């Protein structure tokens, strides 16, 4: 097969391959062969994948290394080749990797796999559902679970893609390798390195969280696609009965997946979307949802998908006193965070009964900027004008929710440019300018939707109910909150237009100050958050990029 020649040219000489296995085959391979550490201080020989009572007709249960229950952001790099170094946005979660050190590390990883005569699972997929720009992506790794995840999460057998071999990216994923920082140039025993020059994603060491397989190549897409005039976005997208599309920006945990999985709207995708001249298009073919505290009534689509074959449940422990082989997925305690708060679930788009054909749709009528405000001071909804859209898009404020990243155990205020800063390979202005151009060209409305806290800060106030959030979102999507259809009041600190009424929502909660017993405490907290916005804006130098301050 041609893939063997390609990988031999890369340096893999004495390994064994299992190429493009079916999901059922990968299910059994994962249970039999995926070995590694699952407990702190435990051996590297633990079984990592299991079946439930449903066997192959149900989900695959998978457990990551305890040091990698979320993305290893401090161990993510791009090779600082002189040819591309000026184009990349270097930052704490995209650090420079020395080209000489990288070449040595890659060689050692390949030699390690050759020496152990590793069995590697190979899965050929694409990044993007539109053949006009889809990026060929080849996963090559030690875990069948990761190959199954790639099958779930990305389009396969896409027709009409040009220059597949010349444009293909390859991920080499070797969890059994151990990096040595002094020798390899890494920070720890693991490194995730993007090599733009040679189209390689290298995952060396214990970085076996499934999200690494998708977020690494998403970062690659965020580098390549804007250079073609296509806006790559960390957002979900869906389409209503009137062919009215919406995109929902937001960091993990703010509601992108939950709010886009709406039985009344057809899903384009839940996390990574492209806005091109053809309209909207999913970068993926699957969903990767947070499972902690999942409510079957609030999120029926995800709840039903838990029982379906070919899905992967990550880091959810079995009910106490029971073996995984004895339980069905609906018996799991989804409030159990004993392994991690960042429990996850990968399922194909086809598990959602309401998906747009080819995961594509029209240009959006509504743009939603999601945030989860841990301070409890932002309004549940605000209507944004063009200048405010740019400001809040590059600010990307939210609470970094527990578990999504290693070391985060409670919500923290965070500013992440473009609502996905770690994955944005270019400077924020590149994406912001494309968003502004496309929004104005296609006359899209924009709202800020806060899914965070009300009546006080995190720990004192309460999380805004998903019922209220959905009612506000649905009203905005219908156009009920458009100019002239409802009265507004201006927030005196944030300078945002807040609707005074909304069908199905208590008027009192629309102005966050009303929900605080201590009004002076609210004013102080709101002023503190506004000053944080201003400080972030100044430190990032957004004014020099043509973004106007709006608060």
List 76, 170, 257, 371, catalytic entry = 257
pLDDT tens track for 467-509: 999 999 999 999 999 988 999 999 999 999 999 999 999 999 9
Residue 395, pLDDT > 70, answer yes
| pTM confidence score | 0.87
Query: Do 210 and 123 share a structural domain?
Result: yes
CA separation for the pair 131, 144 (Å, rounded): 27
Is residue 105 a contact partner of residue 193, using CB atoms and an 8 Å limit?
A: yes
Task: Give me the phi and psi of 457, to 5 degrees please.
Answer: -75, 170
The residue from 177, 199, 228 where one domain ends is 228
List 48, 199, 214, 215, catalytic entry = 215
Q: Which residue is it, tokens 């430190």?
A: 539
pLDDT tens track for 113-136: 999 999 999 999 999 999 999 999
Q: Find the CATH number of the domain harbouring 209.
A: 3.40.449.10
State both tokens at 277: 């001249």
Residue 403, pLDDT > 70, answer no
Clarify whether 183 is annotated catalytic.
no
Region of poorest pLDDT, from 245-259, 455-469, 506-520: 245-259
SS3 content of the chain, % helix, strand, coil (to 5): 30, 25, 45
State both tokens at 358: 């080819």
CA separation for the pair 516, 523 (Å, rounded): 10
Q: Find the CATH number of the domain harbouring 373.
A: 3.90.228.20
Clarify whether 257 is annotated catalytic.
yes
Clarify whether 507 is annotated catalytic.
no
List 234, 392, 400, 445, catalytic entry = 234
Clarify whether 188 is annotated catalytic.
no
Is residue 74 a contact partner of residue 207, using CB atoms and an 8 Å limit?
A: no
Query: Do 222 and 181 share a structural domain?
Result: yes
List 37, 214, 230, 256, catalytic entry = 256
Residue 58, in any domain of the structure: no
List 37, 71, 400, 427, catalytic entry = 71
Residue 323, in any domain of the structure: no
Q: What residues contact residue 523 under an 8 Å CB cut-off, 6+ apart?
A: 493, 513
Number of domains within the chain: 2
Q: How confident is the model at residue 410 (pLDDT cuts 50, 70, 90)?
A: low
Residue 42, in any domain of the structure: no
Query: Do 281 and 189 share a structural domain?
Result: no
List 75, 124, 195, 271, catalytic entry = 271
Q: How confident is the model at residue 82 (pLDDT cuts 50, 70, 90)?
A: very high
Query: Do 474 and 370 share a structural domain?
Result: yes
pLDDT tens track for 293-333: 998 887 888 898 999 999 999 999 999 999 999 999 999 99
CA separation for the pair 233, 221 (Å, rounded): 10
Report pLDDT for 400: 62
List 138, 206, 344, 445, catalytic entry = 344
Query: Do 468 and 540 share a structural domain?
Result: yes
The residue from 206, 228, 250 where one domain ends is 228
Query: Do 271 and 132 share a structural domain?
Result: no
Clarify whether 256 is annotated catalytic.
yes
Residue 404, pLDDT > 70, answer no
Is residue 334 a contact partner of residue 340, using CB atoms and an 8 Å limit?
A: no
Q: Rg of the chain over CA atoms, in angstroms?
A: 23
Percent of the chain beyond pLDDT 90?
81
Residue 22, pLDDT > 90, answer yes
The residue from 202, 228, 254 where one domain ends is 228
Q: How confident is the model at residue 414 (pLDDT cuts 50, 70, 90)?
A: confident
Domain span at 224: 15-36+67-228
State both tokens at 168: 């293909």
pLDDT tens track for 136-173: 999 999 999 999 999 999 999 999 999 999 999 999 99
Query: Do 25 and 128 share a structural domain?
Result: yes
Cross-strand bridge partners of residue 362: none
Query: Do 385 and 279 share a structural domain?
Result: yes
Clarify whether 48 is annotated catalytic.
no
State both tokens at 441: 């060209």
Query: Do 140 and 242 share a structural domain?
Result: no
Report pLDDT for 180: 97
Report pLDDT for 467: 94
Clarify whether 157 is annotated catalytic.
no
Clarify whether 230 is annotated catalytic.
no
Is residue 447 a contact partner of residue 381, using CB atoms and an 8 Å limit?
A: yes
Q: How confident is the model at residue 223 (pLDDT cuts 50, 70, 90)?
A: very high
Query: Do 278 and 427 share a structural domain?
Result: yes
Residue 325, in any domain of the structure: no
Residue 446, pLDDT > 60, answer yes
pLDDT tens track for 468-479: 999 999 999 999
Residue 540, in any domain of the structure: yes
């Amino acid at each position: 097969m041609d893939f063997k020649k390609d990988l031999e040219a890369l340096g893999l000489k004495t390994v064994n391959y299992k190429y493009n296995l079916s999901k059922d085959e990968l299910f059994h391979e994962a249970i039999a062969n995926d070995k590694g550490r699952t407990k702190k201080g435990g051996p590297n020989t633990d079984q990592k994948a299991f079946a439930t009572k449903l066997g192959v007709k149900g989900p695959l249960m998978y457990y990551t290394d305890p040091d990698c229950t979320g993305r290893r952001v401090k161990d993510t790099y791009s090779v600082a080749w002189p040819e591309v170094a000026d184009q990349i946005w270097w930052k704490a979660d995209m650090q420079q990797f020395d080209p000489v050190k990288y070449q040595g590390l890659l060689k050692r990883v390949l030699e390690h796999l050759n020496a152990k005569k590793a069995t590697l699972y190979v899965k050929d997929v694409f990044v993007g559902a539109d053949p006009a720009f889809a990026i060929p992506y080849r996963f090559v790794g030690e875990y069948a679970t990761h190959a199954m995840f790639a099958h779930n999460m990305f389009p396969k057998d896409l027709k009409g893609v040009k220059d597949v071999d010349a444009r293909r990216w390859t991920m080499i994923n070797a969890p059994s390798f151990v990096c040595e920082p002094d020798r390899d140039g890494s920070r720890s025993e693991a490194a995730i390195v993007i090599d733009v020059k040679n189209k390689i994603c290298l995952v060396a060491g214990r970085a076996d969280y499934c999200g690494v397989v998708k977020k690494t190549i998403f970062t690659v897409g965020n580098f390549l696609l804007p250079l073609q005039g296509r806006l790559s976005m960390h957002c979900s997208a869906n389409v209503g009965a009137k062919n009215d599309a919406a995109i929902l920006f937001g960091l993990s945990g703010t509601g992108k997946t939950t709010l886009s999985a709406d039985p009344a709207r057809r899903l384009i995708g839940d996390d990574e979307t492209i806005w091109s001249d053809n309209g909207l298009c999913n970068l993926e073919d699957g969903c990767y949802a947070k499972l902690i505290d999942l409510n079957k009534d609030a999120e029926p689509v995800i709840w039903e998908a838990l029982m379906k074959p070919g899905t992967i449940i990550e880091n959810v422990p079995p009910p106490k006193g029971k073996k995984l082989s004895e339980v069905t997925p609906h018996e799991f305690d989804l409030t159990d965070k004993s392994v991690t708060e960042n429990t996850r679930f990968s399922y194909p788009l086809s598990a959602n009964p309401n998906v747009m054909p080819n995961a594509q749709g029209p240009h959006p009528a509504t743009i939603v900027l999601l945030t989860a405000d841990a301070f409890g001071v932002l309004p549940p909804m605000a209507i944004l004008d063009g200048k405010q859209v740019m400001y809040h898009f590059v600010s990307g404020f939210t609470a970094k929710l527990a578990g999504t990243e290693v070391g985060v155990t409670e919500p923290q205020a965070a500013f992440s440019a473009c609502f996905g800063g770690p994955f944005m390979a270019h400077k924020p202005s590149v994406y912001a300018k494309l968003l502004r151009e496309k929004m104005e060209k296609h006359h899209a409305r924009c709202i800020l939707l806060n899914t965070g806290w009300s009546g006080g800060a995190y720990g004192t106030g309460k999380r805004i109910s998903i019922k209220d959030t959905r009612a506000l979102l649905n009203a905005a999507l219908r156009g009920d909150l458009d100019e002239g259809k409802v009265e507004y009041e201006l927030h005196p600190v944030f300078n945002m237009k807040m609707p005074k009424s909304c069908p199905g929502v208590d008027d009192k909660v629309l102005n966050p100050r009303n929900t605080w017993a201590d009004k002076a405490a609210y004013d102080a907290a709101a002023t503190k958050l506004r000053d944080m916005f201003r400080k972030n804006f100044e430190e990032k130098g957004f004014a020099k990029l043509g973004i106007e301050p709006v608060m």
